[in-house]
Structure 1
Amino acid sequence: MNVMNARLSVMMFLQFFIWGGWFVTLGTFLATTLAASGGQVGMAFATQSWGAILAPFVIGLIADRFFNAERILAVLHLLGAVLLYQLYRAADFSAFYPYVLAYMMVYMPTLALVNAVAFRQIKDPALEFSRIRVWGTVGWIVAGVVISFVFAWDSQQSIAAGGLRNTFLMSALASLLLGLYSFSLPSTAPLKTAAGSSSLKQMLGVDAWGLLKDRSYLVFFLASILICIPLAFYYQNANPFLAEIGVTNPTAKMAIGQVSEVLFMLLLPLFIHRFGIKIALLVGMAAWALRYVLFAFGNNDDQAFMLLIGIALHGVCYDFFFVSGQIYTDAKAPERFRSSAQGLITLATYGLGMLIGFWIAGRITDHFTSSAGHDWRSIWLFPAGFSVAVLLCFWATFKSRDRDKAVLPSAV
């Protein structure tokens, strides 16, 4: 790995350590420490979607047209450190919610920013990006290991004592570190038009929406929204599910998913080159359906292996759909608004799709909750069936065209 890629890898490590350091255990923290209802938990998770919806417009202003991406990345993470500290101090849900909403408005644009910085500094995105992005996955894994094995904040005793509150403090310190580090990243200046001017439409990232005129990309965009509805069930319910049925060190065990993500991230360029973008995306969708079936019928006794396999499928679920989609989007977008295009796909996935998904997940969870606890089988079978429906629609409508192969020779 060259020096530039190493610097970008550190950026990715910290970016996802921050997120994994509190987001995985958020549902458990809210339900236990703050006594939040399923609907309130859904509201809290949905804040990431509001941030993602804002992201394309922020990125259009700051990364493509106006400010250096690395400088805005620094400012946003420094502000994020302050907001995470306020989450650490929040005493109840009413105090917690405004700060988590503000934090996600700050954090979600940084997902597109780190991609923009990385793509602008590497020569062969289809080959190099996955090797850099994989360090973000390592950061997420390390966060889970720290929570479970270093501090045991997700043990039954610590959860009862409010120990998960410390995850926000840990992430605040990491956000402060990344904010300072970002000032040292290579310059990623805005890309001007030939005349050197920026229209309001360009500054707001509206130009990226022109990608939707391409039928194949429109189908991919809509599928990205729909597949994130079942994805929301995993983010919102997986950790509380594992903790409730008595799985020990649930946060660390969930990191198995990120370990598999590392493996499949490295294999992804070869797979796309061999089988094409459509097959990669279909494999990712199929993995979501299989994972939820395993969760529905697994348990913490003789069927515990089903839970572990379901967790391990995360690498296929995430890499084969989301990372493939980022590479596909970068290749399809003209250079002058590639950062805006990354913001657009962030809007589709973490924005619209998961906003709807968290709303549905909250209500499905409450519907199958009684005084006896959760009917987890029914809860998990809903996203399993939904994933299959999206897969079939995508398979029937997405066409990989010759011109796609021209812009993405090693990935379509």
Structure 2
Amino acid sequence: MKFSVRVQLSFMMFLEFFIWGAWFVTLGTFVLKSLQNTNDTQVGMAFLTQSIGAIIAPFIVGLIADRFFAAQLILGVIHIAGAILLWVASSTVDFSTFYPVLLVYMILFMPTLALVNSVSFRQMKDPSKEFPTIRVFGTAGWIIAGLTIGWLGWEKSGSLEMTFKMAAGASALLGLFSFTLPSTPPVKRDTKVSVSEILGLDAIRLLKNRSYLLFFVSSIAICIPLAFYYNFTNPYLNEIGMTAAAGKQSMGQMSELLFMLLMPLFFVRLGVKKMLGLGMLAWVIRYALFAYGNVDANYWMLIGGIVLHGICYDFFFVTGQIYTDNLAGEKFKSAAQGMVTLATYGVGMLIGSIISGPIVEAFKTADGGHDWQSIWLIPAGIALVVLLLFLLLFKEKKAVSH
């Protein structure tokens, strides 16, 4: 890969995840503190927009990136439109106005997670070695976003609407920059077009591989408890008195950055099954640490739970993306990445967002706080069951029947 292309892809990843991290980490706190008359169930509803977008993503990606339009062009159009929506979201004052804006934005944004992967993979000869060194800049973008929020004190001052304005500026920049990215035209040139091809459903053939099918189902199941982390960690840390919580949460992405750089080594030594299993085990431990942590003697547990994010994310999500790319045929790489997005951020997080809000609301205490220990032990238990079933049933295979 040319150095100039590497720089372009790295900057693309940086902005992609800076945009997401700029507002997503503090979304729960924004809903509860910045909007009028809201509750924990509405926090779950806000995060549910991510899942709706992720479920629609494979159809959009399968249509535009694998068939009709160059991936980098549609990436630019989406992010320019996204910048406008993020700016509008920053000025809303109640949930009924905020929610539809966020929903439209996430339907547009979630497909871009697959598109940036598609643009990157198409420039690489060996994604298992080259992709982590590019993707690590996305992690850096998320870190910088979190540290900026903590440094500017937007949580403490109640100015979280600024997170959406910051994200809007970055989205406009990425939109314009996308038009300069390496051309990633559609691979398919067939004259006959089936409905399944147009909708990106050809990637479903990967599920004929029993091992991949189990990975797909496990991806859905493990993201149910993941929703608890994304939706309620920031409100939890702010409620129990952690200062600059968003900034502290960026330590999770710092850990992610470290493990991303080490992934090529781990991938060769451990293989897909052990890496996926370690990622799920880290989630079990993380939730247990949150359950028993506090801002006093057990402060280290809170930090430990945050730092484990590197293993949680890299060993499962990034490994899964590489595993999928290795199995997918050349014509279906974009659609296959979209299908992974559907399983994880889509169906799994959808279920998690639906159940997490009411569960957290149910454990509300008389003083307006929450019984966080009981809350965090629930996702810990779910993750443990998924881990055990995965270790018992998954068998790593190298090829898929087409």
TM over 0.5: yes
> Quick one: which of 265, 286, 289 aligns to 1:291?
286
Provide the C-alpha distance between the structure 2 equivalents of 1:322 and 1:146, rounded to a whole number of angstroms. 25
Whether the 8 Å CA contact 2:327–2:399 is kept in 1: the answer is no
Separation (CA, whole Å) in 2 of partners of 1:241 and 1:180:
37
What are the superposed Cα offsets for residues 259-316 of structure 1, whole Å, 9 maximum, x if unpaired?
Answer: 0000001111211111110000000000000000000001000110110011000000
Tell me the equivalent position of 2:19.
Answer: 18
Counterpart of 1:186, as a letter, is: P
Render the CA deviation track for 1:194-222: whole Å, top value 9, x for unaligned.
Answer: x4443221111010011111100000000
| Paired letter, 1:6 | V
Can you list the C-alpha shifts for 1:332-383, whole angstroms capped at 9, x where unaligned?
A: 0000011000000000000000000011111110110133210000010000
Could you tell me how far apart the structure 2 residues matched to 1:394 and 1:67 are? 38
Say which of 355, 364, 368 aligns to 1:360: 355
Partner of 1:394: 390
CA distance in structure 2 between the aligned counterparts of 1:401 and 1:171, rounded to whole angstroms: 41
2: CA distance, partners of 1:237 / 1:256: 17
Q: Are 1:230 and 2:225 an aligned pair? A: yes
The CA deviation string for residues 36-79 of structure 1, in whole angstroms up to 9 with x for no partner, is 21111100100000000000000010000110000000000011
CA distance in 1, matches of 2:17, 2:205: 30
Match of 1:185 among 178, 181, 188: 181
Moved over 4 A (4+): none
2:176 partner letter: L
Provide the residue aligned with 2:323 in structure 1: 328
The residue number in structure 2 matching 1:176 is 172
Q: Which ranges in structure 1 are unaligned for 5 or more consecutive residues?
A: 407-412
Identity of aligned pairs, percent?
58
State the one-letter code of the partner of 1:328.
Y
Q: Give the superposed CA RMSD.
A: 1.3
What one-letter code is carried by the residue in structure 1 that aligns with 2:285? L
Q: Which residue of 1 aligns with 2:235?
A: 240
Alignment of 1:4 onto 2:8: no
- Tell me which moved more, 197-206 or 210-219: 197-206
Q: Does 1:342 align with 2:358?
A: no
Alpha-carbon separation, structure 2, partners of 1:178 and 1:395: 40
Query: What residue in structure 1 maps to residue 375 of structure 2?
Result: 379
**CA–CA distance in 2 between the matches of 1:60 and 1:252?**
36
Could you tell me how far 1:401 is from its partner in structure 2? 2.6
Tell me the secondary structure at the aligned position of residue 118 of structure 1: helix
The reply on whether 1:268 has 2:263 as its aligned counterpart is yes
Deviation at 1:92, TM superposition (A): 0.5
Give the counterpart letter for 2:170 in structure 1: A
* Secondary structure of the structure 2 residue equivalent to 1:272: helix
Following superposition of structure 1 onto structure 2, how do residues 178-217 of structure 1 map, counting pairs within 5 Å? 178-193=174-189, 195-217=190-212
The answer to whether the 8 Å contact 1:192/1:198 transfers is no
Structure 2 residue identity aligned to 1:13: F
TM-score (norm 1): 0.95
Q: What secondary structure, in the 3-state scheme, does the structure 2 residue paired with 1:396 have?
A: helix
What amino acid sits opposite 1:376 in the alignment? W
For residues 90-129 of structure 1, the aligned pairs below 5 Å read 90-129=92-131
- Contact 2:327–2:398 (CA under 8 A) maintained in structure 1: no
Kept after mapping to 2: 8 A contact 1:289/1:388: yes
Aligned mates of 1:371, 1:191 — CA distance in 2:
59
- Count residues in correspondence: 399
Other structure's SS at 1:63 match: helix
* Contact 1:229/1:353, CA 8 A, preserved across alignment: yes
Structure 2 residue runs without a partner (length 5+) = none
TM-score w.r.t. the length of structure 2 is 0.97
1:55 aligned partner = 57
